[in-house]
Structure formats: structure tokens, C-alpha cells
């Protein structure tokens, strides 16, 4: 949920930045006294960094699920919150203070090669990309070890195809695509970098949502259960006005029994168990 919130905030920040910088009629809208313009840029940089940090948190979380024997999600939850939202707050605050005191030019939207303050933002982003890439390699090794376990009596070619599928599925979730141009100087292949970042960066949230949400068996079972419950409530509500008042208790009892059957149906339980197996196989 926090990962998708960071994706949503990044998209909102991009639209806000474009409106402030490119859709106003005044030429001098980026004057040094324009506090609102600078605030939008600060929010934009914060959302960009937060999205990278939450990708890192996702990598840490999945690695902990596979590597730690007794993993307590509640124990590490607030640590993940501090990393995902608190880390960008510290670096963006430091960048804002230094820009305001030493390089207060325009709307803070122009990044020059000689701007040393830009490394306050760039360094933690590069570090998060590198750490996520290392976690990605570690998780692939763990999955390979589980596949090569002699206790699993399955076809070897099928196991390696599942490993390849798991590797491809983890690439958008970990943001491995950012490693391609992460450590290359920005003046090299500028147009190619721009196209690459726009296409893959813009569709990353959509791809992750499709792969890990809408194609998930447990999510699909939950959506079907909600749809059946809503349809049942709508049917019972429209049919209630034609029933005798003395039949109200029996209708309530029948509705409760049908709801229990809906929640505990074998089909739903099978979908839930299959989801857990899919999530383990990633």
C-alpha cells in the first residue's frame, strides 16, 4: 500500500511541477521570491526519492521473508515506515536548507553539473538502486537453492522455467531497470536515457499493479466475494419490500447463513491457499 501511495504521489508531483513551470503566462514566475514554486519542486523531489526508497523497502521485506526463519512483520513494520518516508524527509530537508542558503536561484528546477548540492539527492537514490540490485541477486540465489533442493521431486526444466519467470517478475518490483543508466554520467546518451526513464518509469506502477495485485489469486477471490455479497445485499434489499414483516427474521438468518457460506466456501479457501503457494514461488 505504501509503495503504491509513493507511485501515486510521484505522478501527482510530476503534474504539479509541469503546471507550475510550464503552464503559467508570466515569464518571471520562477523569481527567487516565489516560495510556492520552490515548494512544488521540494515536493517533487521528495516524491521521487520516496518512490525509490519504497522500492528498497520492498526488496528488504521480500529478502527478510525468504532469509529469516521466524519473520515478524509487525516487528519491522515501523522500521520500514521510517526508511520509506523518513529517509527522504531527512535528505530533502537537508537539500532544501542548503539550496536556500547557498544556491537560491530560480525555482530550484535547473540542475547543473557543477551543482554539488544535487548530490544530496542523487547519492541516496543511487545507493537505494544499488542495494536493491544486490538484494535482487540474493533473492534469485535463494530461489535457485530452493529449486535445486533434492526433496522437491519435480521436472528440472520446469523448475528453471519457474526461476526465469520469478526473475522477470521481480524486475519491475525492485526497479532493476534503473540500474541501466544509474551510474552513467548524465551527459551521456541523454535522449536515450530520457526515453528509457519515461517509458519504464511511467509504466512501472501499472506493471506492478497488474502482476502483483490484479493477477493475484487471493485478490481475485476477494473481489469475487465482495461482488457476490454486494449482489446478494442488492437482491435482498429489493426483495424485502415484497415480503411480509413476520418474515424479516428468517430473511436475516438466511442472509447470515449465505454470508458465512460465501466467506468460508471451499472455492475461496482453495484460491487463498493457491495464492499463498504463488506468493512463495514469487
From 74, 110, 117, select the one nearest 92 (Cα to Cα). Answer: 117
Q: What is the pLDDT of residues 200-214, one digit of tens each?
A: 777 777 888 888 788
Q: What is the pLDDT of residues 37-82, one digit of tens each?
A: 889 999 999 999 999 999 999 889 888 888 877 767 777 888 999 9
Sign of the C-alpha dihedral computed for residues 203, 209, 211 and 215 taken in this order: negative
Spans of the chain, pLDDT less than 70: 23-33, 71, 113-114, 148-160, 181-189, 238-282
Q: Which three cell numbers stand for residue 186?
A: 548524465
The pLDDT score that the predictor gives to residue 185 is: 66
The pLDDT score that the predictor gives to residue 33 is: 52
The pLDDT score that the predictor gives to residue 209 is: 82
The pLDDT score that the predictor gives to residue 202 is: 75
This model's pTM is above 0.75 = no
Residue 60 CA, distance from chain mean position: 13
The pLDDT score that the predictor gives to residue 24 is: 53
Amino acid at each position: 500500500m505504501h509503495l503504491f501511495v509513493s507511485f501515486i504521489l510521484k505522478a501527482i508531483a510530476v503534474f504539479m511541477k509541469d503546471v507550475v513551470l510550464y503552464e503559467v503566462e508570466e515569464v518571471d514566475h520562477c523569481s527567487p521570491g516565489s516560495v510556492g514554486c520552490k515548494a512544488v519542486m521540494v515536493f517533487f523531489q521528495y516524491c521521487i526519492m520516496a518512490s525509490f526508497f519504497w522500492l528498497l523497502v520492498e526488496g528488504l521485506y521480500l529478502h527478510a521473508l525468504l532469509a529469516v526463519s521466524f519473520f515478524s512483520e509487525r516487528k519491522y513494520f515501523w522500521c520500514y515506515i521510517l526508511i520509506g518516508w523518513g529517509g527522504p524527509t531527512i535528505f530533502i530537508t537537508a537539500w532544501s536548507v542548503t539550496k536556500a542558503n547557498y544556491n537560491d536561484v530560480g525555482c530550484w528546477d535547473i540542475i547543473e553539473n557543477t551543482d554539488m548540492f544535487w548530490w544530496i539527492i542523487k547519492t541516496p537514490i543511487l545507493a537505494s538502486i544499488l542495494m536493491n540490485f544486490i538484494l535482487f541477486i540474493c533473492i534469485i540465489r535463494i530461489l535457485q537453492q530452493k529449486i535445486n533442493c533434492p526433496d522437491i521431486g519435480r521436472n528440472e526444466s520446469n523448475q528453471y522455467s519457474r526461476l526465469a519467470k520469478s526473475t522477470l517478475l521481480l524486475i519491475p518490483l525492485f526497479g532493476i531497470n534503473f540500474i541501466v543508466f544509474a551510474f552513467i554520467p548524465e551527459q551521456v546518451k541523454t535522449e536515450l536515457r530520457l526515453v528509457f526513464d519515461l517509458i519504464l518509469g511511467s509504466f512501472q506502477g501499472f506493471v506492478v499493479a497488474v502482476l502483483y495485485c490484479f493477477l493475484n489469486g487471493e485478490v481475485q477471490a476477494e473481489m469475487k466475494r465482495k461482488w457476490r455479497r454486494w449482489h446478494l445485499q442488492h437482491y435482498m434489499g429489493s426483495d424485502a419490500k415484497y415480503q411480509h414483516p413476520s418474515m424479516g427474521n428468517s430473511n436475516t438468518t438466511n442472509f447470515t447463513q449465505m454470508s458465512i457460506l460465501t466467506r468460508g466456501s471451499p472455492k475461496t479457501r482453495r484460491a487463498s491457499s493457491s495464492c499463498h503457494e504463488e506468493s512463495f514461488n514469487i
